Amino acid sequence: MKGQHGFIGTSHDARFGAAHHHESWLAAAWHAIRRWEQLAYERDQLARMSDEMLKDIGLSRADVMEESDRHFWEDPLKK
């Protein structure tokens, strides 16, 4: 609109910016923790699969062992 000085959801209050930064940091940390849990779960599920099941999805036991040896924070999607 003509004469509009900002956008919906913005504020010129410095306290809002700090609170928003804090919330975004917490959200990012929460998502990272959830992703680490997901990676640990998936790696555990891979380790429990039989060699025949692994072959069906194109993986070997050696592939699974390599993946299982990774640290929980090592995300193959973030290279």
Query: Per-residue DSSP letters for 28-70?
Result: HHHHHHHHHHHHHHHHHHHHHS-HHHHHHTT--HHHHHHHHTS
For 57-79, the pLDDT digits (tens) are 999 999 999 999 999 889 988 86
Instruction: Provide mean pLDDT across the span 45-61.
Output: 96
C-alpha span between 52 and 63 (Å, rounded): 14
Which H helix or E strand runs over 26? helix 14-48
For 14-31, the pLDDT digits (tens) are 555 566 677 899 999 999
Q: pTM of the entire structure?
A: 0.64
Torsion of CA 55, 57, 61, 67, to 10 degrees: 170
| 3-class DSSP state of 77 | coil
